[in-house]
Structure formats: structure tokens, C-alpha cells
Amino acid sequence: MLGIEGTAWAASAAVFDTETDDVFIETDAYEPDSGGIHPREAAEHMHDAIPRVVETALAHARETFDGPDTEPPVDAVAFSRGPGLGPCLRTVGTAARALAQSLDVPLIGVNHMVAHLEIGRHTADFDSPVCLNASGANAHLLAYRNGRYRVLGETMDTGVGNAIDKFTRHVGWSHPGGPKVEEAAKDGELIDLPYVVKGMDFSFSGSMSAAKQRYDDGVPVEDICYSLQETIFAMLTEVAERALSLTGSDELVLGGGVGQNARLREMLADMCEQRGADFHAPEPRFLRDNAGMIAVLGAKMYEAGETLAIEDSRVDPNFRPDQVPVTWRTDEPE
Ligand code: ATP
């Protein structure tokens, strides 16, 4: 299975070998010169980089199977249909359609957020986990019920990574801000920031605005980074615990680029240990945006017959995970 990802910053292609479970991923990251992700520039990056990463992934498939001169044994092309930035999705969708046609194989349209969940389920071998997706543009809790992944709780405003990145832009740090906040937080102490959880939903914009204000007031940036992490990760952990309690599940998987943060993983692992639940965070290459998760879910969808006619393969920047009929989980109780 060939997977292609290009919803925001990662121009990525992957080959998933269903026989060996091997996932080869090649990614070319868009790095803005200044500020955050500019949709048009990111789409130009996709235009330039996708052919390169696809060729590298296909070369790997040729090498692994029958040698460099043979046609790679690709059974289908899976691509991210959304959610994501419209210009990026359209560019990558066009590439995926052209590739499926030139290889004469079916096209599979994958929901990027469901892929973040499924790679955790796949690598942990969990049956029916709750998933916390903590990514740049999103933050939500998902759990399976009656043929769909239901959104149990979500951000009421910005995604969790975007909140962190907005703060670091204010400070003048380059994108992405998450790793820099994690580093600076090691030397920080706790200050008060708004903590906003309403039922199963959470909000990050108040914490982020207060963090900017504290910085302007001269509070040490290390203290703000530490407190931003402690505050917003505690919000995510509280709602993740409530989702486990609500569903009765004793499995939690983490998805999304913010999941690379060691402090978030530590808080979630502690909470799960206290409840006697299993916690799994996939390796970092599967947490941040990557085509490996698209190829792995694409293979499951292909197996379930979920191919997509070219004329029905329009991308959707607002594609929600609960719009997707989950037809590949035949073993699940209703
Ligand atoms: P989505 O998957 O919702 O489309 P996205 O495309 O922005 O989101 P991801 O790769 O899932 O991409 O996540 C990127 C985000 O992860 C960025 O906001 C970045 O700052 C954040 N991030 C990366 N590493 C860390 C870290 N160590 N700690 C906290 N945040 C991090």
C-alpha cells in the first residue's frame, strides 16, 4: 500500500508492507521563513516535494521486493482527504489521483484524524481504545461506537499545537514552537494560567493569550513555558480520564504531533496507571503528520472494499472523524 500525506506541513509518502508490517516513510517538511504555516507556500511545498517523496517510497518498494528494475507491487494509493489546509489538500489530492491512474490501481480516501487514531490502535494491538488526538490544528477525544468514531470531547477554539505555536510566535521563536517550549519548560516554575474545561470540551485560547500577556509583563519565559505545558496538558489529561470513565475502556492511545512531548505522555501514563488502564503512545514518526498512518489505515480500508471513484474523491478541509463509516472493524461489538 502506498500512502500520501499533505494536509499542512509534511509532504510525505510511505509504503506499508502488509506481509511484514514494515512501514517505510519519507517526509519533506515545510519550514516557514517567518511566522506560522502559510497555506499557499505550504501548497507550493507540496507541489515540489510530493513527487520526490513518492519516488523515494516507490524505490524502497522496488528494492524490498523484486529489485530496482521491476514495477513496485502497489495494490492501491491511499491519500489524506482532510481535514487540513485546502490548497495543500487539493495539490496532494491531484497527485494521488494521477498516481493511482498511472499505476492503474484503486484510490483510497483517508480521514487524517482517524489515521492518527488507527496507527495507535495498530501499533499497540489494542481492541477498542479511547484516542486522544493532540495535534497542531486539532485536539479531541475519540471512541468507537456503532460503526463510527464518536467525538466525545474537543477543543472549542484553537488546536493544542496551534495554541503553543501562537505563543512562541509572540516570543519570536521559529515554527514549530512545541519542541522549544518543551526545552524551555525544563527550567521553569509554576505560575497561574487559565484552565478551561467545560464538560468534555476544552479551550486553549485563554491560556495562550494569558501566556502572551505574562511574557509582555516580564515573567521569565521558562516559567511561562512550564506553566503552559502543565495547564493545557492537565486539561487534556482530565478529559481523557473522563472519556475512559464514560466508555468503560481501559485502553488509551495518543495521536498527533504534540504527543511527542514527554511531559504530556508522562501525565497520561500516570493517569492511566492510577486507573489500571493501558496507555500507548506510538513512536514519534507515527505521532507527527506522516504518510505511514495513511498507508496503514488505507490498507485496512482497501481490505474492507473502501475504494473511491476518481469523480467522488474531492478533498474536504473540514472532514470530521465521525463522518467516516468504520467498515474495517468487523470484530467490534456494537
Ligand atoms: P493535524 O494533525 O491536526 O492536521 P498538524 O498538521 O499541525 O495537525 P502535527 O504533526 O500533528 O500537525 O502536529 C504539529 C504540532 O506539534 C505543532 O503545533 C508543533 O508545535 C507540535 N509539537 C511538535 N513537537 C512538540 C513537542 N515536543 N511538544 C509540544 N508540541 C510539539
- This model of the complex carries an ipTM of 0.98
Q: Considering only CA atoms, which residue is closest to atom 7 of ligand 1? A: 136
Domains of the chain are 2-115+287-323 (3.30.420.40), 128-284 (3.30.420.40)
Radius of gyration of the chain (CA): 20
Distance from chain centroid for Cα 146: 23
What's the pLDDT band for 305 if we cut at 50, 70, 90?
very high
Question: Pairing relation of β-strands 2-5 and 77-82?
Answer: parallel
**pLDDT, tens digit (0-9, with 9 covering 90-100), for 98-111:** 999 999 999 999 99
Ligand 1 centroid, distance to 305 Cα (angstroms): 32
Per-position DSSP letters for 234-292, written without gaps between them: HHHHHHHHHHHHHHT--EEEEESGGGG-HHHHHHHHHHHHHHT-EEE---HHHHSS-HH
Q: Is 2 in contact with 106 (CB distance < 8 Å)? A: no
Q: Is 61 in contact with 72 (CB distance < 8 Å)? A: yes
Ligand 1 centroid, distance to 27 Cα (angstroms): 15
Does the pTM surpass 0.90? The reply is yes
Q: Considering only CA atoms, which residue is closest to atom 2 of ligand 1? A: 135
**pLDDT, tens digit (0-9, with 9 covering 90-100), for 164-208:** 999 999 999 999 999 999 999 999 999 999 999 999 999 999 999
Q: Considering only CA atoms, which residue is closest to atom 25 of ligand 1? A: 178
φ and ψ at 15, to 5 degrees? -120, 125
Whether 159 lines ligand 1, by a CB cut-off of 6 Å, is: yes
- Planar angle of CA 281, 161, 13, nearest 5 degrees: 65
Whether 255 lines ligand 1, by a CB cut-off of 6 Å, is: no
